[in-house]
Chain A
Amino acid sequence: MKFGVVVFPGSNCDQDCFYALNNVLEVPVNYIWHRNQNLEDYDCIVLPGGFSYGDYLRPGAIARFSPVIESVVNYVEKGGLVLGICNGFQILLEAGLLPGAMIKNESLKFVCRDIYLRVESTESPFTEDCEEGEILSMPVAHKDGNYFIDEENLIKLKERDQIVLRYVSSDGTENETGNPNGAIDNIAAITNRQRNVLGMMPHPERSVEKLLGSGSEDGLKLLLSAVSFIKERG
């Protein structure tokens, strides 16, 4: 088993992702420089958070044309697992691997705090070890996390069970306090139709040890889920 963490100029959560996988979960990980196009050896590709290319133009808009993304598109077509976190999610949207787009947070502010998520679908390699309706806690840290999709495509997302995580309050209800950025329908994470790509704004790699942050280890559940999925798939 091998995970790959892509590094773009301006990525800044690449080392956190590497640490969570390598040191906490003890699975093999490699960094993949964005100019590299060889993804054949990998069981899962992680596009980490950060500010690739300084967020110039729109977050993810320039990174989307990096050589590695062409390979990621082929990798996805062949059924490879891809997890995009924060800026990684934005890149997946810009690349058209997931539907919709990000706009600025409703508050216009950079939001960095712990939030609560409700697992809406366990039909994903990243949530199959969770319970439907389970509440997870982990941090968000972004200024462009206000997910948008038009009405017609939102209906499709729902019909196809592509909404994987929603922002909620600590008691599990959907309301304005629970939603940190104004995302439509409180969407925090979505998957593609093939269900092998997950894009999420919250940072699972930042909640992997009791010692750090609010002490939540809920991020581990998502990463562990992917690890067991890969093991089962063989």
Chain B
Amino acid sequence: MWKVEVIVRLKQNLLDPQGKAVEGAMNNLGYVDIENVRAGKFFEFDLTSSLERKSAELKADDICSKLLANPVIEDYNFTLTEVL
């Protein structure tokens, strides 16, 4: 079984108003040396079939590109950890 952890980010060239709003709040909190705040999404799930790493990666990549991220506006990356 594999534990899959996915991070989805808004593409760098897109304005992230949510990140900007959080950055403003960080500044208001007193941390004035903060910039380039970006907000994203985190997912984790178990891939329960016993697969070779390569096949597990292909499966996770398919799920990310078709569902968890919208490739028009988002980038993603994931890590796989084998659970014994």
Contact = CB atoms under 8 A, between A and B. Distances in A.
Interface of A: 57-58, 61, 65, 93-94, 100-101, 103-108, 148-150
17 contacts: A58-B70, A61-B67, A93-B72, A100-B72, A101-B70, A101-B73, A103-B10, A104-B17, A105-B17, A106-B15, A106-B17, A107-B17, A108-B21, A148-B14, A148-B72, A148-B73, A150-B72
Interface residues of B, number: 11
Given A57-B67, A61-B67, A101 B72 contact: yes
Interface string B62-81: 00000110101100000000
A103 B14 CA distance: 9
Q: Chain A binding site: helix, strand, loop or mixed by DSSP?
A: loop
Q: Chain B binding site: helix, strand, loop or mixed by DSSP?
A: mixed
B18 interface: yes
Contacts of A61: 67, 70
A103 B73 contact: yes
Contacts of A108: 17-18, 21
Contacts of A105: 17
Contacts of B72: 93, 100-101, 148-150
A64 to B, nearest CB: 9
A59 B76 CA distance: 18
Given A57-B68, A58-B70, 14 more contacts: A61-B70, A94-B70, A100-B72, A101-B73, A103-B73, A104-B17, A106-B15, A106-B17, A107-B17, A108-B17, A108-B18, A148-B72, A148-B73, A150-B72
Nearest to B15: A106
B18 A104 contact: yes
A25 B10 CA distance: 42
Contacts of A65: 67
Contacts of A93: 72
